[in-house]
Structure 1
Amino acid sequence: MTEPPGPGPVPGAVPETFAFRCGRCDHGWEATFQAVFFTDPVADPDLQSTLEYVDEAGRAVPSPLTDAVCPRCGSRRVRIAAAGS
């Protein structure tokens, strides 16, 4: 996995904000990630684009759509919606 350039905007990234709600403790929160599409011709000779998410601290993270964890209770029973919904 490619290391991002650190905190701050990532060149070519698209910001995505998600709203989360814990199914265990009902805690709600929003988080913004940078969605980065890139192609690695060495690792993928078919030139398929790869999507990587970068958190607000500039770290590459698993997809928030599949790996959300409640920051209050640690539960993985998290529902996700578009921000503001």
Structure 2
Amino acid sequence: MQTHHVQRSYSFACLDCGHGWEDTYDIDLSVSEDQVTAVYRLDGITVPSPLQSPRCPACESRKIRIMRPGRVAAARRNE
């Protein structure tokens, strides 16, 4: 089994309350002949994949748009 370490950043926007945030995840990918397993960490804490059922930290809504990194920061600069 091989393990690869990668980092991925995502921007998120809540479609209910309008809250926006960005996070960078450390991801350990373990690859075997028949399976790929991903373990996500945020600030050193193991968390669920941000791509599966993300939740707004402001209002707890699950109506979230996931975007490429930098989208939330760019929107704030244009306010």
What band does the TM-score fall into relative to the shorter chain?
A: 0.7 to 0.9
Which residue of the partner structure matches residue 71 of structure 1? 57
Equivalent runs, 1:49-64 vs 2, <5 Å: 49-56=36-43, 58-64=44-50
Q: After TM superposition, which residue ranges in structure 1, 4 or more long, deviate above 3 angstroms?
A: none
Alpha-carbon distance in structure 2 between the residues aligned to 1:32 and 1:67? 17
Per-residue CA shift, 1:45-76, capped at 9, x if unaligned?
x45221111111x1221110112111111111
Cα displacement (A) at 1:84: 1.4
Structure in which a larger fraction of residues adopt helix: 2
Alpha-carbon distance in structure 1 between the residues aligned to 2:65 and 2:4? 28
Out of 21, 34, 41, the position equivalent to 2:26 is 34
Q: Which runs of 5+ in 1 are unaligned?
A: 1-10
Aligned partner of residue 65 in structure 2, secondary structure: strand
Structure in which a larger fraction of residues adopt strand: 2
Aligned residues: 69
Equivalent runs, 1:20-31 vs 2, <5 Å: 20-31=12-23
Alpha-carbon distance in structure 2 between the residues aligned to 1:12 and 1:49? 11
Q: Tell me the C-alpha RMSD between the 2 structures.
A: 1.9
